[in-house]
Amino acid sequence: MAKTTKKTSKKAAKNKEDALLSDGSPTVKQILENVRPTPMVHNGLTNEEKIDRITEKFTDIMQTLGLDLEDDSLRETPRRVAKMYVNEVFGGLDPKKFPKMTVIENKMNYDQMIVVQNIGCLSFCEHHFLPIDGFATVAYIPNKKVIGLSKINRIVQYFSRRPQVQERLTKQIVDCLQYILGTEHVAVHINAKHYCVMMRGIEDTSSTTSTADLRGHFKTRMETREEFLQHCRTKF
């Protein structure tokens, strides 16, 4: 009987996790299932375990480079790097850090473009683990819902805080907003500098990379597309 109760409670917990929240909004699990994934293997490690392992591995890297970890300036660097990776710059790998979403009913019947420009977009190139530093412009045409404006910035930040390629990052932001808002009319443009281009290889410090994902009217209606692209002026 105890086993049956245990199985039933697990099933109930899973059903609760998969269900909509009380206000009808989707759960984080549902949102992320509708966003194209970052290549990941779930290793079951806690954040503290990850920090401990990265500290150990980064110590090896620094010692291999010939750095003196007895020096008071370098002694704590491996753990500083580990905590930064897990808690900050790669925080977007942790579903628990997904921002709380606030959407409201579109009682205003607003049916025009909403645009948030010049959103700071800091990420890491997954090929060389060097920064990607740029700006995003995000737009959508509401259907039945509108979203708190700061939530758009937070979505950009969340998916930026992963090892990334700019193309995937652009599409993840659009996937997320389409699902949360229930509208196909979403567009994202990112213009960024890649430090893997600036600091190694060609060592070009002046070039930037632009990516865009335009869906719905932003893709099919020329006037909507042109209006959006007018908002996408680069800042470099």
Catalytic residue (choose from 121, 157, 164, 166): 166
Catalytic residue (choose from 17, 33, 48, 127): 127
Catalytic residue (choose from 128, 184, 227, 231): 128
Q: How far is CA 140 from CA 104, 159, 185, 200, 219, in A?
A: 15, 18, 6, 37, 12
Catalytic residue (choose from 30, 184, 196, 231): 196
* Cβ burial 171-195 (10 Å sphere, 16+ → b, else e): bbbbbbbbbbbebebbbbbbbbbbb
Q: Is 164 a catalytic residue?
A: no
Q: Among positive and negative, which fits the CA dihedral 156, 36, 101, 95? A: negative
Q: Is 125 a catalytic residue?
A: yes
User: Phi and psi (nearest 5°) for 161?
Assistant: -80, 55
Catalytic residue (choose from 117, 126, 184, 227): 126
Q: Are 227 and 201 a contacting pair, CB within 8 Å? A: no
Catalytic residue (choose from 121, 172, 178, 194): 194
Q: Is 128 a catalytic residue?
A: yes
Catalytic residue (choose from 121, 125, 176, 232): 125
Q: Is 231 a catalytic residue?
A: no
Encoded amino acid at 166, one letter = Q
Q: Is 196 a catalytic residue?
A: yes
Task: Cite the active site residues.
Answer: 125-128, 166, 194, 196
